[in-house]
Amino acid sequence: MKDGLKIALPKVRLGNKVYAVLSQIGYGYDEIMADSRKLVFYDEAKGNTYFLVKPSDVATYVEYGAADIGFVGKDILLENNSNVFELYDLGIGKCRICVAGEKDFPYHEKKHLKVATIFPNISREYFLASGKTIDLITLHGSIEIAPLVNLSDVIVDIVETGTTLRENNLVVHKEICPVSTRYIANKVSYTYKNEEIRRIYDLLKNLEAENND
């Protein structure tokens, strides 16, 4: 078995977009996109191994060296404070982390808030810096319901097009930061597999330049 790169890819929607980019730069492996339940793929010709993992776990696989490189949303890196090299912004999966709530909620006047979120660390840091105190309620999905059933005053969540917010009569009160997919590397792998990791960086850069031409 060749000692190629171990690559952590996010499953589901974002994974498809990342895979399309990898294919364009010559790092595709057709079996990954076949409809199967396999999670580990070994490309014998190139020696690379691909793992399909939950998007929120990609950075963990890379930080602890199970994978050399990975592709992950900036939201996950911020939330986990991941100790990895963040080498390149692929510019895909673009969205924003926002504070949202009901239209009439007096967000700017409130000094204390009940905040529901799947991003407790990002929320804690943001409100600490903005001078508001908060009660933090950590949820794992369907965050938009929280203000509607008085579980929280506001939510901190990912907003892509804003459709889900609109359909639940919510509006963005404040944007915290933009988010997109990043190419990351384990800090030790960066030295031991530097040539390959840098090669992917260069290929991603070239691809962006071609697309901009």
Partner 1 sequence: MFKQELFTKKEILSFKLRELFLSQGFSLYEMNTFEPYSFYLENMDFLSSKDILYFADKDGTLMALKPDITLSIIKNLDTTVDKHKLYYSENIYRVPRASEKFQEILQFGVEVIGRLSDEDMFNLIYLAAKSLLIIDDNPVLLISDNSIYQKLIEQAGLSKIQDKIFTAFQNKNLLLLNEVLQDSADEKYSAIFKALLFLHLPLDLGIKELETILADEVFLENIEYLRNLYNYLASRDLQTKVFLDFSIPEGLKYYDKISFTGIIPEVSSEILKGGEYSNLVRSKEKSYQASGFAIYLEKIDFNGREQ
Query: Which residues contribute to the site for partner 1 (CB under 8 A)?
Result: 63-65, 83-89, 186-192, 194
When the beta carbons of 42 and 190 are compared against partner 1, the nearer one is: 190
Q: How far is the CB of 126 from partner 1 (least distance, A)?
A: 16
How far from 163 is each of 74, 142, 158, CA to CA, in Å?
Answer: 21, 14, 12
Q: How far is the CB of 209 from partner 1 (least distance, A)?
A: 15
Residues in the chain: 213
CB atoms within 10 A of CB 151: 14
> Token digits for 5?
């790169």
When the beta carbons of 29 and 85 are compared against partner 1, the nearer one is: 85
When the beta carbons of 48 and 186 are compared against partner 1, the nearer one is: 186
When the beta carbons of 83 and 206 are compared against partner 1, the nearer one is: 83
Q: How far is the CB of 86 from partner 1 (least distance, A)?
A: 4
Query: What's CA 140's distance to the chain center, in Å?
Result: 15
When the beta carbons of 39 and 192 are compared against partner 1, the nearer one is: 192
Please give the Cα distance from 142 to 158 (Å, whole number).
11
Q: How far is the CB of 186 from partner 1 (least distance, A)?
A: 6
Q: How far is the CB of 180 from partner 1 (least distance, A)?
A: 9
